[in-house]
A and B are shown apart, each in its own frame.
Chain A
Amino acid sequence: GAVVSQHPSRVICKSGTSVKIECRSLDFQATTMFWYRQFPKQSLMLMATSNEGSKATYEQGVEKDKFLINHASLTLSTLTVTSAHPEDSSFYICSARGTGGLDTQYFGPGTRLTVL
């Protein structure tokens, strides 16, 4: 149980294009999903918190107009990197927390974004 998937696992795009990453909780309902970013050999940094049916909450320094988050259902959240630039290249990881608040965050396998 508690499986989270991400799609795609790897994406390469040209500078200026937009990329959408999907995060799905496969066997549980996730009222809250989180998006993290991990640079090479560094820790995960929280980007935003996504609650189903409401606007995402972004961490300080994260541009909400660049990183669009939609949490349309209890099993799906999407992160769209708009007008991507090479500095946006990173490993993006989502996590999902089930109903109940105290549940563990379960992480997706991550998406490697490379912007040329």
Chain B
Amino acid sequence: AQSVAQPEDQVNVAEGNPLTVKCTYSVSGNPYLFWYVQYPNRGLQFLLKYITGDNLVKGSYGFEAEFNKSQTSFHLKKPSALVSDSALYFCAVELSGGGADGLTFGKGTHLIIQP
């Protein structure tokens, strides 16, 4: 069975500082990894994904994530946080195999950017 862990319920960062939202995963096989962001009472917006290739993935709104196979991690990062980045962030994993599977989500991390 595959699983995703987001160890932090909430991350607080001052505006302009770098931010990191942590994610580790457990899956047998090659993972497809995703980050999504959710605003209140809204669906999820895709940020970025890792399928294969370069371990550093760049996504929307200046976010990036680094796939680390040895540490089974896929932490989300941004060099300079904006107040508008405040939202709920989900890491998700899918077992590779042709796209027939749904995603397994972490519990989510609330990111709060303080002005």
- Residues of A bordering B, CB below 8 Å: 2, 4, 6, 32, 34, 36, 42-46, 49, 51, 59, 91, 93, 95, 97, 100-110, 112
Contact = CB atoms under 8 A, between A and B. Distances in A.
Contacts of B99: 32, 97, 100-103
B81 to A, nearest CB: 23
A106 B44 CA distance: 8
Tell which of B34, B98, B105, B106 has the most Cβ of chain A within 10 Å: B105
Interface string B50-72: 01000000000000000000000
Contacts of B34: 104-105
Given A93-B44, A110-B43, A43 B49 contact: no
Nearest to B88: A41
Given A6-B43, A102-B99, A104-B46, 16 more contacts: A4-B43, A32-B100, A43-B106, A43-B107, A44-B90, A44-B105, A46-B103, A49-B102, A51-B100, A97-B99, A101-B100, A102-B98, A107-B36, A107-B46, A109-B43, A112-B41
Interface in B26-53: 32, 34, 36, 41-46, 49, 51
Contact size range, B: 20 to 34
B104 interface: yes
A106 B46 contact: yes
A107 B44 contact: yes
Contact of B42 (A34, A102, A104, A110): A110
A102 to B, nearest CB: 6
A36 B101 CA distance: 12
B100 A49 contact: yes
